[in-house]
C-alpha cells in the first residue's frame, strides 16, 4: 500500500511545486487533478493538460516523477457523467476520454470520475441511462489499459433538494456499477454520514476497490436534531452545507483509521490510499492546506507498512 494525496486541494500550484512538496513531506503517490480550466466546478485544478497532452508532456511528467520518487495513482476528473444538458454531458465525456488517453500515455492505471445524476429523472431512470452510456466509456478505457474508478461520494450539493447527486454512494449501487465494468474509489467519510460502517464494506468488496481515498468526517454535536438526516432545508444558501457534519483531514474526525487500514491489509488491498483534503479548518490558503496534508500524513504514515 502506498500513501498518496489528491492534488485538487492545491489548485494554485503547479504539478512541479506539488510534487516537490509532497515528496519532501513523505507522500509516495499523487492522484492528479485534471479538470479543464473552465470554471466548471468550484475549483480549477488542472495539473496536467490532458486535452493537449503529447510526447513532450509525457516525457516531462515522467522525468518530474522520477526526480521526486513519486508515482501517479490515478487521474482525477470527478464530474457529472449524467448531466441533464446534452451539450455539457458531451463535453464531460470528451474530457474524460482526454484523461484516459493521458493515463495510457503515462502508464497510470486508473481515471477517477462520478456516475452523476440527472436530477429531473428518477433513480431508476438514471440507472437505465447510465447503462446506455458507461459500457462504451469502459471499453474505451479498457482498450487503452486504463480502468475507470468511481468514488462513492453522495454529491448531495448537485441535487436541488440535497438528495444524492452521484448514484454510487451505497453497496447496492456499487454492485450495479460493477456489472458495467466500473471499479470503486472507496472513501470511508461518505459512508459514515449516511449510516454505513465503512470497515464492514471492505471484505465484501475489496476485489473491486481499485483505489482508496482517505478523508475523515466530523459529526457536529446535536445539529442533526434540528435539521434531520437530509440537512438544512430553509437556510441552505451553500448547497454543500448540510449543517450537521463536515469533512476533516484524517486524524481530526471520527473514522477509525487503524481499523480501516488493518482491514484493507487483512483482505489483500495493495493499492493506493490517497488523502483527499476538504477540511474547512485546515483550508483557505496554501499554508493551512499544507498543514492539513501534513496532519493527514502524520496520522496515516505510521499505520502503513513499508
C-alpha cell at 169: 454512494
User: How many angstroms separate the CA atoms of 49 and 61, rounded?
Assistant: 11
**Per-residue tens of pLDDT for the chain, all 306 residues:** 999 999 999 999 999 999 999 999 999 999 999 999 765 554 568 999 999 999 999 999 999 999 999 999 999 999 999 999 999 999 999 999 999 999 999 999 999 999 999 999 999 999 999 999 999 999 999 999 999 999 999 999 999 999 999 999 999 999 999 999 999 999 999 999 999 999 999 999 999 999 999 999 999 999 999 999 999 999 889 999 999 999 999 999 999 999 999 999 999 999 999 999 999 999 999 999 999 999 999 999 999 997
Q: What is the CATH number of the domain that holds 282?
A: 3.20.20.150
Q: Give the SS3 label for residue 227.
A: helix
User: How many angstroms separate the CA atoms of 294 and 284, rounded?
Assistant: 15
Helix 86-106 / helix 55-68 crossing angle, nearest 10 deg: 60
Please, are residues 72 and 106 in contact by the beta-carbon 8 Å criterion?
A: yes
Q: What are phi and psi of 227, to 5 degrees?
A: -100, -25
| Beta strands, E only, 19-115 | 29-33, 71-80, 110-114
CB atoms within 10 A of CB 185: 30
Which residue, among 172, 168, 173, has the nearest Cα to 155 in the 3D structure?
A: 168
Side-chain-side CA neighbours of residue 224 (13 Å): 11
DSSP bridge partners of 3: 273
Please, are residues 30 and 3 in contact by the beta-carbon 8 Å criterion?
A: no
Our measurement of the distance from residue 189's CA atom to the centroid of its chain's CA atoms, rounded to an integer in Å, reads: 11
Q: Give the SS3 label for residue 162.
A: coil
Range of the domain at 162: 2-303
Count of domains in the chain?
1
CA dihedral 38, 41, 44, 47 (to 10 degrees): -100
What is the reported pLDDT for 235? Answer: 86
Amino acid at each position: 500500500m502506498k500513501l498518496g494525496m489528491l492534488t485538487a486541494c492545491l489548485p494554485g500550484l503547479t504539478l512541479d511545486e506539488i510534487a516537490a512538496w509532497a515528496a519532501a513531506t513523505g507522500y509516495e503517490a499523487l492522484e492528479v487533478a485534471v479538470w479543464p480550466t473552465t470554471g466548471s466546478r468550484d475549483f480549477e485544478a488542472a495539473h496536467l493538460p490532458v486535452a493537449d497532452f503529447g510526447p513532450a508532456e509525457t516525457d516531462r511528467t515522467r522525468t518530474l516523477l522520477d526526480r521526486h520518487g513519486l508515482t501517479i495513482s490515478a487521474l482525477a476528473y470527478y464530474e457529472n457523467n449524467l448531466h441533464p444538458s446534452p451539450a455539457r454531458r458531451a463535453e464531460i465525456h470528451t474530457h474524460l476520454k482526454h484523461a484516459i488517453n493521458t493515463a495510457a500515455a503515462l502508464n497510470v492505471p486508473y481515471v477517477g470520475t462520478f456516475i452523476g445524476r440527472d436530477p429531473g429523472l428518477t433513480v431508476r431512470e438514471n440507472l437505465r441511462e447510465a447503462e446506455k452510456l458507461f459500457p462504451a466509456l469502459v471499453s474505451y478505457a479498457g482498450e487503452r489499459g486504463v480502468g475507470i474508478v468511481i468514488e462513492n461520494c453522495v454529491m448531495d450539493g448537485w441535487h436541488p433538494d440535497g438528495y444524492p447527486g452521484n448514484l454510487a454512494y451505497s453497496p447496492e449501487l456499487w454492485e450495479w456499477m460493477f456489472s458495467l465494468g466500473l471499479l470503486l474509489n472507496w472513501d470511508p467519510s461518505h459512508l459514515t454520514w449516511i449510516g454505513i460502517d465503512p470497515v464492514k464494506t471492505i471484505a465484501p468488496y475489496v476485489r473491486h476497490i481499485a483505489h482508496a481515498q482517505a478523508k475523515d468526517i466530523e459529526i457536529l454535536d446535536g445539529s442533526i436534531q434540528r435539521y434531520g438526516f437530509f440537512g438544512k432545508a430553509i437556510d441552505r444558501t451553500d448547497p454543500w452545507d448540510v449543517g450537521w457534519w463536515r469533512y476533516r483531514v484524517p486524524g481530526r474526525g471520527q473514522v477509525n483509521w487503524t481499523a480501516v487500514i488493518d482491514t484493507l491489509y487483512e483482505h489483500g488491498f495493495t493499492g493506493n490510499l490517497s488523502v483527499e483534503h476538504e477540511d474547512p479548518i485546515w483550508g483557505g490558503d496554501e499554508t493551512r492546506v499544507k498543514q492539513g496534508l501534513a496532519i493527514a500524513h502524520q496520522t496515516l504514515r505510521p499505520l502503513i507498512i513499508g
